[in-house]
Structure 1
């Protein structure tokens, strides 16, 4: 357990067993990821239900994580060799910290459990992980395009237009689909989208922003207020991308663009 407590210094103190590309077998790696995910769920259940063998399950989990980290924690496996090292390190650091807390018997929320199991399940399926990363990159690129295209308050998109943005909507829908086995994270994304669409439904189109509401006689949002509301929504979405980045071992970049992977 000690290496989990001093995780930031672990890679400097202990040599990693770098994976030899000639020895790498994706199916074996996937099985290892799924086994580790299963041990996380077993340990969480044992502590939550106060099983008498909680300590032994925790020990099995920590041993499995230590072995996994020594093989892949510093150097990604060949299938993920194209990933930037900071993104891999950030994902591994986040995962190791959470597993360490679970191993010490700390309470784990449903969302925190998903944050431990989903990264491993994605690693086991490159055909899921790469699209997840591309979705994050697409959303980030779209944010930058929206910001660049709203140089003045009069140019600002309405939150309704942001909610209807096809690239943002499709990207978050894809990510939500990847969270099939992570119900707490899926609910989080659903809540975010519902909040965005609910608030934007009350926002008038740009060309009526200064008109009076004929029914209630109230003034609708002016251009400056509309831009402020747009920036509020963009901030929430960008925070969500930053939150999701370690899950997908992806590095948040202001001007990222989607890339294709084999």
Structure 2
């Protein structure tokens, strides 16, 4: 995070000093990265706190709020860069491409290194994936700024800086919008991405003695922990309840569900009316 903070300062100084809007946009997005990394780190620390009598699930959902905030930061940064890029097209400014290229190269290296350090095991954690997305999109921004600076050095066409800024801003807007949608879906208890509800139902139905699965709900307790509740209608003569529950939890863990609550019923019991 200290490296990214230092990078913001360098890019702002070079961007304003040598007239590169694309580099200033890169710096603004880096500000979002620093805030996003801080939010992600704070949320992960908060999620480790034990549950209380009021917050009986603990504070795991704080990571979901952090990923939502990260998405909003990405969107805001992308919007600023696009608007400024469009305005710069109408009034191009002289740019000194050589220092801009060096600053962009530094941004590319630092963001890729930070993404590698922070992103270990991020595939199953939306909060970490949000932070890594920040860093990778910023690396792409730096690469685009670097390319535009080199082309300006060769051609002398300063509008390339504004065009690069617009392209980068649109890419950032797209990534931020996707992150907002996914974070919002998790906050509404949608089935997490990567969890196959049909495969879960099939796995439960394949257990010995299970005849029907209903009231099946799967949601995310945090950006990395998945929970499930379900009613299993079974034939008690086929398999002991304790063994059935053990096999069910084992199957569900293989499918990425770590927190399960299962209610066993016989075909003579009323399943409870409509599914909730």
Q: Where on the TM-score scale, by shorter chain, does this alignment land: which range?
A: under 0.3
| Higher helix content, 1 or 2 | 1
Larger Rg over CA atoms = 2
More strand by share: 2
Choose between structure 1 and 2 for higher RCO, CA contacts under 8 A separated by at least 6 residues: 1
Q: TM-score, normalised by structure 1?
A: 0.26
